[in-house]
Amino acid sequence: MAYGAPRTPVLPPHPELSLARDCEQCLGWGTVVTRDGIHELCHSCQSGPDDDKAAPTLP
């Protein structure tokens, strides 16, 4: 018998669909599902605040 997706208190991530439009990794969805069944933002087309490298600042 098939069961539904497990309930989780964490909301699914909200991707920026304009960035995901031509992505071959997520096929335009902006999210991918891990082997554990967890939705994550696509690492190929989505960038988050933690993905930015520390930019050097000018004095």
4 domain-assigned: no
Domain assignment of residue 58, yes or no: no
Number of domains in the chain: 1
- Is the pLDDT confidence value at 2 over 50? yes
* Chain-centre distance for alpha carbon 15: 6
Is 22 part of a structural domain of the chain? Answer: yes
Could you write out the DSSP letters of every residue in 3-58? --PPP-SSPPP---HHHHTT-TTTTTSSEEE-TTS-EEE-TTT---TTTS--PPPP
Please give the average per-residue pLDDT across 3-14, as a whole number. 72
Q: What is the pLDDT of residues 12-55, one digit of tens each?
A: 778 999 999 999 999 999 999 989 888 899 999 987 555 544 44
Residue 20 within any structural domain of the chain: yes
Q: Domain of 45?
A: 14-49
Does 24 reside within a domain?
A: yes
Q: How many residues does the chain have?
A: 59
Is the residue at 30 inside a domain?
yes
Q: What is the pLDDT of residue 53?
A: 46
Q: Has residue 57 been placed in a domain?
A: no
Provide the pLDDT confidence category of residue 9 given band limits of 50, 70 and 90. Answer: confident
Supply the pLDDT for residue 1: 56
